[in-house]
Amino acid sequence: MRCEIIAIGTELLLGQIVDTNSSWLGQELALAGIDSLHQTKVGDNLERIVGSIRLALGRSDAVILCGGLGPTQDDITREAIAEVMGVSLIRDHDMGEKIRELFTSRGREMTQNNLRQADRPKGASLIPEMPGTAPGLICPIENQVIYAVPGVPHEMRTMVRGTVISDLKRRAGVTSVICSRVLRTWGRTESGLAEMLADRIQELDELGTATLAFQASGIEGLKVRITVKAPDEAAANVIVAEEEERVRRILGDCVFGIDDETMESVVLDLLRERGMRLAVAESLTGGLVGARLAAIPVASEVFVGSVVAYSNDASFKWCEMPQGPTVSREAVMVMANGVRQALNAEVGLAVTGIASPVESSDIPVGTVFFGLAIGDRIEAVSAVMPGDRNRIREYSVINLLNYLRRTLLFGERE
């Protein structure tokens, strides 16, 4: 079974909206064992949409159309499908009433053009999941099928996970299960990871039990994806777990989490396990560390707060720093210990550095100092961050948190 994805919307071609839907769909199809060899973007033009659908049906068994199901004049996906199917549009009055009730339940007045969303090509059925006002479509054409889902990401995902994937697997006769796990790493290059795992990748090519793939994710680190195909979920989970253990042994401490875990969520979990609270003093990052920590649910159980002392005067006042250079190993140690005491936490973290050229300083741009105060240890390390101002600040956040992670784990092992 081959399934093609067509993203519809002129705004996609103009770069006004980034097409994240197609990448997500590609991932879901791969996990379902459905081949997806082509992805297309097309603007809101009936002739070009019809041509894209016909091209896709000429080389694939199924097509997923994403977008163009709304109530406005440029929402013409339904018309395009009807033309390809050689049928007319019919209005589903039950769906029309459902749309009307949705507006009423939300205290909104429905304009008549919303009833266009109740139109469907003759012979098509509606996708039962309907998180918004635009229903999705299943449109069979002999032994092929077209699915139409909204472009709004959460609406699209609800329909795909609820109906489209299972219907595709049924049509394809897929009975096996594909499972994957992502190991998240920090501190190694992609080429370095590939070199470390080269022998294992070659072994897996011969065994055919699993595959390893790499994905660079910027400030979120490098991901190593383990993918397994097995007769059932239980068998797949066993193979995934065994392979994860092997990969962890090879990569060591650069693996900091799995799947949706982030560096900040991992650090907060480690602190919670040890009954320790964290306070942060930020200069260079201007609140980015605190923002990422605070975004984690129940972070307040562990994260006491962040003091943002961006100017020198603020650093002297709030971080109890003596007059002198604020970008140095000594300064960041004072900041870490000072914020720990000021906010009554067991652990203090601090970061300061140079993100842009400063005439009065001979410190190279990108130089960052990380401070840590934990127990009777007050120490600091430095590193040079790559990139422009924003990348320097963002990379500093994850490096600071990784510094704490490694300290907590190494302390555990000593």
What are the pLDDT digits (tens) for 217-241? 877 889 999 999 888 889 999 999 9
Res 413: pLDDT: 34
Please state the rounded mean pLDDT for residues 264-286: 95
Please state the rounded mean pLDDT for residues 19-29: 94
Q: Indicate the pLDDT class of residue 133, thresholds 50, 70 and 90.
A: confident
Res 412: pLDDT: 43
Res 360: pLDDT: 60
Query: Which of 31-35, 61-65, 166-170 tops mean pLDDT?
Result: 61-65
pLDDT at 115 over 70: yes
Spell out the domains of the chain, with CATH numbers in brackets.
3-172 (3.40.980.10), 177-258 (3.30.70.2860), 263-413 (3.90.950.20)
Q: Indicate the pLDDT class of residue 327, thresholds 50, 70 and 90.
A: confident
Model confidence over 48-79: pLDDT tens digits? 999 999 999 999 999 999 999 999 889 999 99
**Among 74-78, 96-100, 273-277, 370-374, which is the least confidently predicted range?**
96-100
Q: Residue 234: which region, alpha, beta or left (left: phi > 0; alpha: psi -120 to 50)?
A: alpha
Q: Indicate the pLDDT class of residue 322, thresholds 50, 70 and 90.
A: low
Model confidence over 289-303: pLDDT tens digits? 999 999 999 899 999
pLDDT at 414 over 60: no
Res 231: pLDDT: 87
Angle of helix 20-31 relative to helix 165-172, nearest 10 degrees, comes to: 40
pLDDT at 364 over 50: yes
Q: What is the pTM of this model?
A: 0.74
Q: Indicate the pLDDT class of residue 32, thresholds 50, 70 and 90.
A: confident
CB atoms near residue 196 (< 10 Å): 16
Res 29: pLDDT: 92
pLDDT at 88 over 80: yes
Res 208: pLDDT: 86
Res 359: pLDDT: 56
Query: In this prediction, what percent of the chain has a pLDDT beyond 90?
Result: 71
